[in-house]
Structure 1
Amino acid sequence: MEEQVRVGAVVAGFDGSDESVRAVRWAAAEAELRNRPLLIVEALRPQVWAPIGYGVYPAAVADIRDERFIGQARQRLDAMAVECRRTIPALEVMTQLQQDEPVTALTTIVEDVEAELVAIGSSGHSALPRILLGSTAAELARAVRRPLIVVRGAPDADAPVVVGVDESQASQRALKFAFEYAELHRCPVFAVHAWSDQPLDVFEPVERWEHDEAGEQAAAAEFSAKYLDPWRERHPQVAARLTTVVDRSARALLELAESAQLLVVGSHGHGVVRRVLLGSVSHAALYHASCPVAVLRGPDEPAAPQQS
């Protein structure tokens, strides 16, 4: 029997994999800090049929109509909830088991409960070990309009939050989330602004001689006063600094994120990345960052069409 879910819950995607267990544990700790309930969601994919020889037989996907399979899913979901309640006794923990595609199920639930945020593992049972981001996580990053955190690694609790900033509205959403997170976790914010965001290889370094260092320092001070100082004033207890680099945005962010507890990016930046549904910097962060990554999409941005 599914519980009634309160608005503003922290939602965690779960499929029994080690990555999803890590995501649920991360979400439980975050829900406690935010004084929100935790909703753990597991979605069972519909049966896939494939032609073999002269007949049509089930492919290597378990039949969701098999009561034993559903029972096993319910048992591991309940066990995960029990662990969260035991670890954080005051936490309100709820579960939902859906018979639908994971992206469809999670996207619908996240919007229905107006989730505070949604946490998922970087890959699940269906992902190849060599891939850092599973297909479900990649599709959700394009579909979910609430803050999405792809959980990976075991970052230090005292490590900073790294956030990419530019002049876009997406950057403002990222800064808001980063400062609020840092205040809750009592950690600093490292804001990163890259002077070069050219539509070339996002990992290719930029030559220093192409830029005026004295001019960059003056521009950095002006940029900080305009875009970072307002957030410092709203969160005076959060230590924050701006780092400007002459490099591609993705490359600079990934290097600093190696020692971060969270990397925060907006789904779009300025320049040519507006033409894609998930910007090149966000894409690089999701696929290559070694720490958890938060992606902030705007409520007015259209969801990417899901692949059939």
Structure 2
Amino acid sequence: MSAPVVVGVDGSESALHAVRWAADEAARRGAVLRLVHAVEIPTGYPPGFVDSDALRAALAEQGRSWLEQARQAAPGLATEVVEVKAAAVPALVKESTHAALVVLGSRGLGGFTGLLLGSTAVELAAHAHCPVVTVRGTDNGHDGPVVVGVDGTPLGEAAIAFAFHEASIRGTGLVAVHTWTDLVLEAAFAGGAAQLDFSVLAAQAEELLGERLAGWQEKYPDVPVSRHVSRDRAASALLRHADGAQLVVVGTRGRGGFRGLLLGSTSQHLLQHAPCPVAVVRTGSSRED
């Protein structure tokens, strides 16, 4: 059996959508689907204001109900049901140590409220030990390709590896996207923009992308690859190719068009506007088992 596919459960419709996506992923991998509900017991109420025992019992009952609802959303699949008394991010980071990937809805309730808003999403993606997938959009792209952002450095290898594996197990093609706008901006700030030969930069970018993909194309000969190099911003290029895709894959570090992907507006834009699920792969976190 493969490592389990972990999905966060909080009772929201978005989480149920994530459960169904994760169930399909687990079936493709021959893996167990691990349903995890994290609940952080509120503290600090004045004495007598809240019956802490009754509150714990109510939260536990609610959690069990949500987990059962999630289990029923994945019929016929081997599942594990886990209730954790902890904050959502630490609980999921711990789960990620033995998972193939962690899957989340794009919106949440309970222990996962605001998980994709602000620093919480950044924290999870930065510390998880496996790829983190945010399930966005509908299922309109179930026949589409997998899209991967290639930053042109060795640090992006984990994202490329994950993307090729996903394309292979889905029986679909891979769209590799590389942008080089930031190279132009760096030269401009250094005072050398006037001397830039864009045709040379474009040729170098094409060559770099080919080098980064070569070994993986040999490993996955069953995956047809489409290469796209453009003088564009990373978010714009990825969103353009994400339309109709099954999945968009990005790394957490890099240079070129994907610098700071989890530190600024690019990541937020992708997580908020991508029309399909988004996988964030931290360097060293990609797993194929």
State TM-score, norm by structure 1. Answer: 0.78
Q: How many angstroms apart in 1 are the aligned matches of 2:67 and 2:245?
A: 30
User: Could you tell me whether the CA contact under 8 Å between 2:178 and 2:209 is conserved in 1?
Assistant: no
Which letter maps to 2:241? L
Secondary structure of 2:60's counterpart equals helix
Aligned to 1:203: none
Secondary structure of 2:182's counterpart equals coil
Q: Give how far 1:106 is off.
A: 1.3
Aligned to 2:80: 94
Q: How many angstroms apart in 2 are the aligned matches of 1:292 and 1:38?
A: 18
User: Could you tell me whether the CA contact under 8 Å between 2:137 and 2:277 is conserved in 1?
Assistant: yes
5+ residue gaps in structure 1? 1-5, 201-208, 301-308
State TM-score, norm by structure 2. Answer: 0.82
User: Could you tell me whether the CA contact under 8 Å between 2:122 and 2:262 is conserved in 1?
Assistant: no
Deviations 1:118-158 (A, max 9, x none): 1011120269x9x8934654432232121100111114111
1:183 and 2:168 equivalent?
A: yes
Q: How many angstroms apart in 1 are the aligned matches of 2:54 and 2:196?
A: 59
Q: Give how far 1:21 is off.
A: 0.7
Aligned to 1:16: 11
Secondary structure of 1:49's counterpart equals coil
User: Could you tell me whether the CA contact under 8 Å between 2:5 and 2:100 is conserved in 1?
Assistant: yes
Give the 5 Å matches for 1:113-192: 114-125=98-109, 133-134=116-117, 136-154=120-138, 155-192=140-177
Secondary structure of 2:211's counterpart equals helix
Q: How many angstroms apart in 2 are the aligned matches of 1:197 and 1:283?
A: 18
Aligned to 1:75: 65
Larger RCO (alpha carbons 8 Å, 6+ apart): 2
Q: How many angstroms apart in 2 are the aligned matches of 1:198 and 1:283?
A: 22
Q: Give how far 1:279 is off.
A: 4.2
User: Could you tell me whether the CA contact under 8 Å between 1:268 and 1:282 is conserved in 2?
Assistant: no
Q: How many angstroms apart in 2 are the aligned matches of 1:132 and 1:105?
A: 13
User: Could you tell me whether the CA contact under 8 Å between 1:162 and 1:256 is conserved in 2?
Assistant: yes
Aligned to 1:304: none
1:30 and 2:25 equivalent?
A: yes
Structure having the higher helix fraction is 2
5+ residue gaps in structure 2? 186-193
Q: How many angstroms apart in 2 are the aligned matches of 1:132 and 1:68?
A: 23
Aligned to 2:182: 197
Q: How many angstroms apart in 1 are the aligned matches of 2:96 and 2:115?
A: 23
Deviations 1:82-115 (A, max 9, x none): 331x2xx2x210110111111111111221xx10
Q: How many angstroms apart in 2 are the aligned matches of 1:162 and 1:237?
A: 16
User: Could you tell me whether the CA contact under 8 Å between 2:151 and 2:257 is conserved in 1?
Assistant: no
User: Could you tell me whether the CA contact under 8 Å between 1:142 and 1:277 is conserved in 2?
Assistant: no
Aligned to 2:238: 253
Which of 41, 45, 65 is the aligned partner of 1:46? 41
Residues 153-162 or 133-142, more deviating: 133-142
Q: How many angstroms apart in 2 are the aligned matches of 1:173 and 1:73?
A: 34
Q: Give how far 1:272 is off.
A: 10
Which letter maps to 1:133? L
Give the 5 Å matches for 1:185-264: 185-197=170-182, 212=197, 214-264=199-249
Cα gap change, 1:188 to 1:132, in 2 (>3 Å) = farther
